[in-house]
Amino acid sequence: MFNGRNFLLLFLMMSQFQQSVFACSTIDTLLPKMDSVVVKNANTLVIYYSNSMDLASTTDLSHYRVQPGNVAPVSVSSDNGSSRKWMLNFSDSFSLRKWYNLHITQVSDAYGQMISDTSVFFFRYQSDRNDILIHEIMSDPEPRIGLPATEWIELVNASPFPINVSGWRMAKPSSRSGPLPDFTLMPDSFLLVCSSGSLSQLVPYGNTRSVSYFPALSNSGDELFLLDDKGKTIHSVSYSDRWHENEVKKSGGWSLEMMDQKNPCGGYGNWSSAVSVSGGTPGKSNSIRQVNPDHDPPSRIKAYVSDPTKVCLLFNETLDSTTAMNPLNYQIDHQNIHIADVAFESPKQDGLTLILSRALDSGKLYSIAYDEMKDCVMNGIGSSDPVKIGIKKLPDSMDLVINEILFNPVSGGADMVELYNRTDRVIDLQDCYLANLNEMGEVDNITSISENPFPLLPQEYLALSTDKTHLLRQYRSCNPDQIIEMPDLPSFADDEGNVLLLNKQGKEIDRVHYFDDWHFSLLSEKEGVSLERLDPNGFSQHTANWHSASSASGFATPGNKNSQAADLLFESRAFSLKSRWMSPNNDGNEDLLVLQYSFNEPGNVLQTFICDAGGRIIKKWLRAEMCGRTGQFFWNGMLDAGQKVGYGAYILFVEAFNTSGNIRREKLVFYVGD
């Protein structure tokens, strides 16, 4: 007996049965199609079908052809017993990064339904450097300009191929993110990478994927790496907040953007602040996009010996691995030593370690040259000039000297201290510190000069400052290759102060207590003028061994020989003048009278006075000055009354005596002019 309730139940059961039959019928009649093709290895393709496939037709080799070449597979087999996943094996390997076309005909599924003739393009991909680039960085999202207040990194596919980034990671030198999920990034397309907590805020801007352990991006700067699924570095960027266009954008809310994708290793010269009104362009072409090619070859920054069998070369940009890794491209000036192997120092590929066939000798300088060094866009050096290297020596007293001091810079400038290596050995500034004395006379403000190896060769100069850019802009006599920009310097007062140089064991190497009145007294303005050491072999604390940098040099010579430096070129006589002419106007030309001495025995005391042409004493210059075997003294042309000596002829009377009772006297004529 049917009642309403039973009828309803029967109706529902019949409906469910009909739906089930319809569903089965639909599956049986769906035409088969190829879902995708994947290059498994150099000789094998894997085809994914939508349906279970017929064994006979699917394994028929004549049903497959690959162009170019009209090549058929040598075998077709099920992949792990799956009737929907089939492997095509070929006798020859597919070339890397080359497009092929697979054509499939007359293949049917398990129900006898034949697949439509199908053609699909494929290529064998192997990730290569700069295929995908770090394209935009939001490291300091606050205060908000218009974008979400969260950190992110934008990637762009700069290759002509679609690339699956499954398993790829973002990294910093000491950490790595979790892997990216399965995602194929099409050519000239963008992908935002962020933390899981930021995903929902960034999805509206385009392709976005989150990773676990997303690297925290430092506001001031960081070194970022994009790694593929095998850990290979695909792209790297060492960004800095100094890359921003101005101080306003540096303070936050604005992304850093790459200008030209074809200049992926351009660094500072190829990055700047976004100009989009929202503060950045996530998921879109960069707002500062422009043609900005790199035509400059890589430049060597430094070379040093890390241990007796290893030499490190550091460059200013990423190198091409093919040319950089060839040991035959390097030569060392020793017939029994050759380069056995080459390795990159870091994933950034801007530094190389050369493995030597035998150890270098301590205390000896060597030369290394290299050929065919290229950067990542293939700008080449050709053959390099030889670079000197040697095993380093821990500096002792007066091995390094304080050679120039800028303690009263112009407004907006920074202090500067220059060092000079007096020895015949390499000194590593990683082993040295600057410091000064506090009010109690205790060593204070100890500051490491370099966190990384930085060799100073014999007779080389090196300037230290917190603002290298300002030095280069302010002083035309700078040597940019011989300036270190340090995060901090000890404080140097404008009127009087001290500079200490220590080695890593805390031993004092050199010390200068400077005074403002050491400057040339007729200078109208001392701001921005450095004090230069006249003789690196002379006393550090002798006022006569210091003088204002010349006007001709621009009033400072960071990283170069001092404008007022006096060379030691002794005559055979006991006393001589470097020049018989002087012109004390601080123009860098004959500003000083230089008296040079040379004795056969130590323990001599020197005194001098200057007379005019009439024989009248106008200047008592040196009074009982202790001398070494050789040396020099300097007179700046100022008289005791504070005025400059006038033009004309003068006589320098020199007298020396020693503990043996020997006395030497001599008259030297010189002239003062303009």
pLDDT digits (tens, 9 = 90+) for 402-450: 999 999 999 999 999 999 999 999 999 999 999 999 989 999 999 999 9
Across the range 483-512, mean pLDDT stands at 95
Torsions phi, psi for 480 (to 5 deg): -60, -25
In the prediction, which pLDDT does 662 show? Answer: 79
The rounded mean pLDDT for the chain is: 89
Question: Which residues, 6 or more positions from 662, have their beta carbon under 8 angstroms from its beta carbon?
Answer: none
Give the residue with greater pLDDT, 274 vs 626: 274
In this predicted model, what pLDDT tens digit does every residue of 80-130 receive, in sequence order? 888 999 999 999 999 988 889 999 999 999 999 999 899 998 888 888 999
DSSP string, 3-56: -HHHHHHHHHHHHHHHHHHHHHHHHHHSPP-EEEEEEEETTEEEEEESS-B-HH
Q: Does pLDDT of 342 surpass 60?
A: yes
In the prediction, which pLDDT does 5 show? Answer: 35
Placement of tokens 């050519």 in the chain: 187
In the prediction, which pLDDT does 614 show? Answer: 83
63 SS3 class? helix
Q: Per-residue confidence at 4, pLDDT binned at 50, 70, 90?
A: very low
Q: Per-residue confidence at 568, pLDDT binned at 50, 70, 90?
A: low
Kindly list the distances between the CA atom of residue 318 and the CA atoms of 227, 266, 347, 480, in Å, as whole numbers in the listed order: 15, 9, 9, 20
For residue 211, give the nearest of 233, 232, 226, 190 by alpha carbon: 226
Across the range 515-522, mean pLDDT stands at 88
Q: Does pLDDT of 566 surpass 80?
A: no
In this predicted model, what pLDDT tens digit does every residue of 63-74 receive, in sequence order? 999 999 999 999
DSSP string, 194-238: E-GGGHHHHGGGSSEEE-TTPPPPPSSEEEEEEE-TTS-EEEEEE
Q: Does pLDDT of 27 surpass 60?
A: no
Torsion of CA 209, 212, 217, 223, to 10 degrees: -90
Across the range 279-301, mean pLDDT stands at 95
One-letter amino acid for residue 487 of the chain: P
Q: Does pLDDT of 569 surpass 80?
A: no
Across the range 499-508, mean pLDDT stands at 96
- Can you read off the two tokens belonging to residue 462? 């090196």
In the prediction, which pLDDT does 379 show? Answer: 93
Distance in angstroms (rounded) separating the CA atoms of residues 490 and 245: 29
In the prediction, which pLDDT does 567 show? Answer: 62
Q: Per-residue confidence at 1, pLDDT binned at 50, 70, 90?
A: very low
Q: Does pLDDT of 565 surpass 90?
A: no
Identify whether the C-beta of residue 224 lies closer than 8 Å to the C-beta of residue 170: yes
In the prediction, which pLDDT does 29 show? Answer: 57
In the prediction, which pLDDT does 538 show? Answer: 85
Q: Per-residue confidence at 35, pLDDT binned at 50, 70, 90?
A: confident
Give the residue with greater pLDDT, 136 vs 383: 136
In the prediction, which pLDDT does 26 show? Answer: 41
Distance in angstroms (rounded) separating the CA atoms of residues 480 and 303: 16
In the prediction, which pLDDT does 563 show? Answer: 85
In the prediction, which pLDDT does 3 show? Answer: 41
In the prediction, which pLDDT does 6 show? Answer: 36
